[in-house]
Amino acid sequence: MSHQVSVWRAAQLLGVARGVLQQKVRDGSLVLNDGWVSTDVLLQLYPDAQLEESGLLERVTQIRDEAFGKRVRERMLPSQEVLAQRLFAQSQELADVRKHLQRYHELVVALQHEIRGQLKQQPGAASWLTLEHHITQGLAQALATEPVDMLEVMDDMLKVMTAQVTVRPSGHQFAVEGRANLLQAGLHAGLRLNYGCGNGSCGMCKVRVVSGDVAKTQHFDYPLSEAEKAQGYTLMCCHTAASGELTLELLEASDPRDIPEQLIATQVRAINRLAAGTILLHLQTPRSHRLRFMAGQSVQLGWTMAGAEDASTHYPLASCPCDERNLLFFITHNPADSFAQRLFAGDVKPGSTVSVLGPSGEFVLTEGHRPLVFAACDAGFGPIKSLIEYALSLDAAPSLSLFWLATRPDGHFYSNQCRAWSEALDQFEYELVTHPDAALGAWQIAQAMRADLFDIDCDFYLAGPSEFILTLHDELRAAGVAETQIATLLL
């Protein structure tokens, strides 16, 4: 029997990117029924699908592995209380199905007795004989053993292992895995949620539960009114999904202007020299004051030492908003940059306090389902890295391509990350280009785009110096790419 699942769940079951299935919907090879897809249709499209390779059965196998048992239980399995609630909900659903089946069976048996009584009174009546034949055959078919729909079985298992959350009115969906609360799971899925402290004190992550059940994960001090409780409001940071499916009503940031400016005192966690003129700066925010930002945005970093002038400069973030406490920046050696000068001189050390003011900028990912093409020059890789990680968390783009120009020999200071993405993700590819002139390097990238994968129906994101941006922008426009499909960040 066919089973209906969402596109989000179908991607999980088959182990493919959601963007791949959405592309099939757009080209007509995958037909949806009110937003749902039949498992029969999925198996027709993917007849050789190996569920064991989708990652779902691997998780179950890992749980049986004694060496990793404890770690897997902590990361992959919900708490015992939440697991019990989800299993109880599944048991209730199964009991309801059994009850209805029994009632239908009793109804059919009663009809059989009635028909046989009529046949005794009217032996040989053709209409009664035909009706009895149809009922008997139908009952036999209903009770017959049919092949098990493995996608349906895996879907039922997923409802216990990972809850599916649907957000209204946007329609976005995300999974709640392990012991993550709703806020953590939503942020890791790339949702632009409203939140503040993350510990249940401010109430900024308040949402309304439309359907499904939630379970409290920690104590919170924010006082929900009786009216809010009656309407189903709760805090995302202190609750997780207690049912396999959950629907929440909340507002998400759709524009950089929806996120307020914040001033946070962060601590330097690490300073890593990636190349002769490039440092990776890792800042961490307090647990009670995390930075809300969109991928691709920038902040102002400030540092003050006794007897020295304030050193502050704007830098694009090189980290994903899904990890809002750990902020990464690629800092290049620049004599005109006072903060960079202090950093390279060794004045800023692990444990130092660095102020973060922001976010600012509109170089953000546009929501859509077109293939994504990124081009960076030197430290322009920072904001591009942020966009790529955010796009991967959304899992909506059918493909991602990166072209990275370095104007100095050690300019590809983070190429290992590109290699890791390429090896782990089928939909990601990259090309490293080296040229001392940014404009000529941009021209080379434009030719590589044309030769390798050029398609004007893509969204393009460019970050780097003016000569790089202008050259590549003009080449794309000359090739027919619409202005609305090109986003630029001048560094």
Q: What is the pLDDT of residues 345-360, one digit of tens each?
A: 999 999 999 999 999 9
For the chain, the structural domain boundaries read: 162-249, 256-360, 372-490
451: confidence class by pLDDT, cuts 50, 70, 90: confident
Per-residue pLDDT at 306? 59
Q: Which of 85-99, 373-387, 439-453 has the highest mean pLDDT?
A: 373-387
Among 175-184, 410-419, 427-436, where is mean pLDDT lowest? 175-184
Per-residue pLDDT at 111? 80
Judge whether 291 and 356 are in contact, CB under 8 Å.
Answer: yes
Percent pLDDT > 90 in the chain is: 46
Q: What is the pLDDT of residues 291-320, one digit of tens each?
A: 999 999 999 999 887 556 577 789 999 999
Among 6-10, 261-265, 433-437, where is mean pLDDT lowest? 6-10
Q: Report how far residue 294's alpha carbon sits from residue 291's, in angstroms, rounded to the nearest whole number.
A: 10
Q: Which residues contact 453 (CB under 8 A, 6 or more apart)?
A: 373, 401, 429
* Beta carbons within 10 angstroms of residue 439's beta carbon: 17
State the average pLDDT over residues 431-436: 95
CATH fold label, 256-360: Elongation Factor Tu (Ef-tu); domain 3 (2.40.30)
- Residue 324's closest CA among 164, 204, 423? 204
- Residue 324's closest CA among 221, 179, 194? 194
Among 105-114, 176-185, 386-395, where is mean pLDDT lowest? 105-114
Q: What is the mean pLDDT of the chain?
A: 83
Residue 281 scores a pLDDT above 70: yes
Q: Which residues contact 46 (CB under 8 A, 6 or more apart)?
A: 14, 16
Per-residue pLDDT at 319? 95
Residue 100 scores a pLDDT above 60: yes
491: confidence class by pLDDT, cuts 50, 70, 90: very high
Q: Report how far residue 470's alpha carbon sits from residue 456's, in angstroms, rounded to the nearest whole number.
A: 18
Phi, psi of 320 (to 5 degrees): -90, 145
Per-residue pLDDT at 351? 94
Residue 456 scores a pLDDT above 90: no
Q: What is the pLDDT of residues 199-247, one digit of tens each?
A: 898 899 999 999 999 999 999 999 999 999 999 999 999 999 988 889 9
Per-residue pLDDT at 156? 64
67: confidence class by pLDDT, cuts 50, 70, 90: very low
DSSP annotation of 484 reads G
Handedness of CA 200, 229, 186, 10 (dihedral sign): positive
Q: Which residues contact 334 (CB under 8 A, 6 or more apart)?
A: 340, 341
CATH fold label, 162-249: Ubiquitin-like (UB roll) (3.10.20)
| CATH code, residues 372-490 | 3.40.50.80
- Residue 163's closest CA among 72, 80, 246? 246
Higher pLDDT, 72 or 318: 318
Per-residue pLDDT at 65? 45
Residue 52 scores a pLDDT above 60: no
Residue 150 scores a pLDDT above 80: no
482: confidence class by pLDDT, cuts 50, 70, 90: very high
